[in-house]
Every structure is written in C-alpha cells, then in structure tokens.
Amino acid sequence: MRRWLLISVPYLWLFVFFLVPFFIVFKISLSDTEIAIPPYTPLLDLSEGWAGIKDFFSQLDFENYRIIFSDALYVNAYGSSLRIAFISTLITLAVGFPIAYGMARAPKAWQPMLLMLVILPFWTSFLIRVYAWIGILKQEGLLNHFLMSFGLISVPLNILHTETAVHIGIVYSYLPFMILPLYASLEKINPALLEAAADLGSPPWKSFWQVTFPLSMPGVLAGSFLVFIPAVGEFVIPDLLGGSDTLMIGKTLWIEFFSNRDWPVASAVAVVLLLVLVVPIVLFQRNQEQLREREAGR
C-alpha cells in the first residue's frame, strides 16, 4: 500500500499539472475564434454528454493547425527559436563545462562556497537580471565603455536589440542549469581513473576526451535539456534584449494570446511547440535505454 502511494504521487502530479492543462489548451486549439469573453467558441461541450461529443467529432477540423503550417511566420518562428536555442545551448556548454570541472577538482572545503556562487544570481529577480543587461549592452553601456577605455574598439558596438544580445541573455540566465548537473557528474568521477590513464602514458588532453568527457555525458545531456527546452519558448529575453527582427515562438505566442486575442491559434502554436520538444526527447531516451540494455546484455 505504501509503495503504491509513493508511485502514485508523481503520476498524480503529472496528471494535475501537465495532462489537465494540456487537455484544456488542446481543446481551445480546436475551437473557433470569437469576439467574446473568452475569445473562442468551444466545439467540445462535455455538459451535453454523448450528444456533445458526437457534435464535436462531426464539426472537428484542424483549421488552426493548417494555419500554422501554411503561414511562414509560424514556421520561421519555430525554426528561429530552435536555432537560437541550439546555439545558446552549445555556448552554455562551452562556458559551463570548464566552470563545473574546476568546481569538481577544487578542494572539498571550497566546493560549498563555489556552489553558492553559482546559484547566487537566483537570489535576485529574473526580470531585474535581464534588465541589467540592457545597461551593459546598450551603446553607451558598460561594455562599450570598457572596450573603448582599453582601445579595443574606436566606435561603440551595436549589440543591444540584436540576436547576439539574445544569446548573451540566454547563456547568462541558464548557465547555472548547465553547471549544476555537470558538476554532479564530474564530481563522481574517480580520480584514480585519470591517474591510471596517466600511468599508461596517456597525455592529459587524451585522458580528458577518452575518460572524463564520456563519464560526464549524463551531466552534459541533463544540462543541455535543461537549457535547450526553456530557451526554445523563451519570451522575456528576446522581448527585452532582442530587436524587432528577432523572431522567436515565445514572442509569437504572447502576441497571439494578448495582442491579437486569437486563443485558438495561440493554443495550436503551444501544442505544436510541446510536440516539437517532447517527441524527439522521448525517442532519444528510448534509444538510450535500448543501448543500455544491449550493453548490459553483453
């Protein structure tokens, strides 16, 4: 009985906070836009019982989904979001790996303080931290003053309201989500493995690529997912740091929901976004499980 209760808790959480909201959004995505409150006409009315379900299937169409895939705006927004999130994830990994590696190799007495420094930015509001980058990246901001004072540039750089600023904002905001799982994986690696590799004549760079990096792959994958998934649907960073040419699906969703008040199309955009993220991850995890089962069977 106790075991059943323990297992049911995560499934109950998943049902209440994922499946129920997803069903509501999916139901709205199949509705028609209406000038009313709420701004849509529901096609599925469960209060009418079986007759309501029959009417729903007789009127069912996927018009809102056809609009998404036929309009270049939405297709380009998905493509741009995936590209920006992918590049930002690679940069975050390149920045976060040396930091996590240094933390894992630091003396044990220092590691709690280093962990606290990594999570220290979370003690302030996310909005305030993103707004701070506006003061740093604008033409008369701190970055241009710093570069010009050292003679590295002669005219101020135009970084704010560009895609570069979006990458900087995403890397800064999500860097702790990359460092923490990487640190957890690197900290578990037995130093005796690297000593054995060195005793066998392996140079440090070769030991890193053949011992350290493969053993840190669980942290690399976990950190990459933790950065990539929220970055795809990011709204605040591209809205504040990106320009009008920066197209991301999070901004498109906000415009459809709150400016155009086209809830059915916005809901369809959200459902497709969820499928774009979840389906490849589920397939990847299933592939990884099959690989682990094959290795265990050898």
Q: What's the pLDDT tens digit per position in 34-58? A: 777 777 777 777 677 777 777 777 7
pLDDT of residue 238: 92
Low-confidence ranges of the chain (pLDDT < 70): 1, 46, 297-298
Whether the CB-CB separation of 184 and 197 falls below 8 Å is answered with: no
State the number of CA atoms in the 13 A half-sphere of 91 facing the CB. 17
Q: Name the CATH topology of 71-297.
A: MetI-like fold (1.10.3720)
In 10 A of CB 106, how many CB atoms? 13
Neighbouring residues of 226: CB distance < 8 A, sequence distance ≥ 6: 174, 177, 178, 181
**Domain range summary for the chain, segments of one domain joined by +:** 71-297
pLDDT of residue 104: 93
Whether the CB-CB separation of 100 and 179 falls below 8 Å is answered with: yes
pLDDT of residue 6: 79
Alpha-helix residue ranges (DSSP H) falling in the chain: 2-14, 20-29, 50-59, 63-70, 72-105, 111-119, 126-137, 142-149, 163-187, 191-199, 204-207, 213-215, 217-232, 236-240, 249-254, 263-297
Q: How far is CA 252 from the centre of its chain?
A: 17
pLDDT of residue 34: 79
- One-letter amino acid identity for 266? A
pLDDT of residue 85: 96
pLDDT of residue 217: 93
- One-letter amino acid identity for 159? I
Instruction: Specify the pTM.
Output: 0.86
